[in-house]
Amino acid sequence: MEINIFDSPDGQVVQLHNPHTGESAEILQDLGGALKSLHLNLQGKVENIIAIPQANQFSMKENDLYPSALLCPWVNRVRNGNYSFLGKNYQLPINEKALGNAIHGFLARRKFELGKQETTKEYAKVVLFYNYVGDFDAYPFHFQFEWEFTLTQGALDVSMKCINTGDSDMPFACGWHPYFQIPGTELADYHIYFQGKSRFLSDSQMIPMKEEALEMKNGLSFRSEQIDHVFRLNSVDTHLTELVDTKQNRALFVKQSSKLFPFLVVFAPANENCVAIEPMTANTDAFNTLDGLIQLKSKDFFQGNVQIWVGNPLELTR
């Protein structure tokens, strides 16, 4: 396999490429390590399964749907941008002005450094990293974040690692915000299966206010439901989300540990034929509710990974 680096309107692109199969992953180094495309062999045809909603209206940097964004060091929203940690109160900048929240952390649009690159016949691997030195208002905690992307035949492995490089504990959560598509599929033809045990209903600021138990045996249909929720997952070492194209009998899979990433956001944006499937370590507003918040000690680290592949629908997830 090979690694190619080139410029684009969205900045520098790092491409992992399998020249024998045509499969590839394109990562935006200058925009937080966002995954711009992922071409995999789906039933004999190489297809791009990463969607960029609103691509015709906004650049990746200006897109308020945050396609493929890294959510760190908090996920989703902090109510009113305000939180307290170890007896001290902090006021984050409000970057979701319509709802009055701080949203999605601050690494999604930052330029990452290029780290280790490795290629063999079986895989292409690259590390991107960012050293944060406390320059964002109301988050004085130093850390290093690392992405590791590994393309193998038919799959992509995405590893996230955060090391507390400061001298004190830090409040931490992370997540990932990719939008997936199975090309040629209408939203109404998608059905999704995962091991959700509850979902959260949100208030007017899109902050969870109520948790309700959920029966997920039959999955969720995008034809019959409007889906935009945080879900709490059953705690298992290997959790599989399956997005099924019911019309053409094709499927996309996202694997994670729901012990490391115990929450999942599923969201279908309006007027788009794609679905956000977002593994998260914590719930929305965890900086205040503490639901899933990690208190990362000095020199300690968090590490978890997500795997993506495509194929025929499986009965095992149902």
In whole angstroms, give the CA distance from residue 236 to residue 195: 9
Contact 172, 39 (CB under 8 A): no
Q: What is the 3-state secondary structure (H, E, C) of 212-243?
A: EECCCCCCEECCCCCCEEEEEECCCCCEEEEE
Mean pLDDT of the 267-272 span: 92
pLDDT band at 137 (very low <50, low <70, confident <90, very high): confident
Q: Is the pLDDT of residue 315 over 80?
A: no
Q: Is the pLDDT of residue 316 over 60?
A: no
pLDDT band at 10 (very low <50, low <70, confident <90, very high): very high
Q: Is the pLDDT of residue 318 over 80?
A: no
Mean pLDDT of the 188-216 span: 94
Q: pLDDT at position 139, please?
A: 97
**And the tokens for 300?**
């300690």
| Domain segments of the chain as ranges | 2-311
Q: pLDDT at position 226, please?
A: 87
Q: pLDDT at position 207, please?
A: 94
pLDDT in tens, 71-118: 999 999 999 999 999 999 999 999 999 999 999 999 999 999 999 999
Contact 48, 180 (CB under 8 A): no
Q: Is the pLDDT of residue 32 over 60?
A: yes
Q: pLDDT at position 176, please?
A: 98
Q: pLDDT at position 215, please?
A: 87
Contact 14, 29 (CB under 8 A): yes
In whole angstroms, give the CA distance from residue 2 to residue 24: 10
In whole angstroms, give the CA distance from residue 160 to residue 130: 12
Model pTM? 0.95
In whole angstroms, give the CA distance from residue 108 to residue 118: 25
pLDDT in tens, 123-133: 999 999 999 99
Residues 6+ apart with CB under 8 A from 289: 208, 283
Q: Is 2.70.98.10 the CATH number for 2-311? A: yes
The mean predicted confidence, pLDDT, of the chain is 95
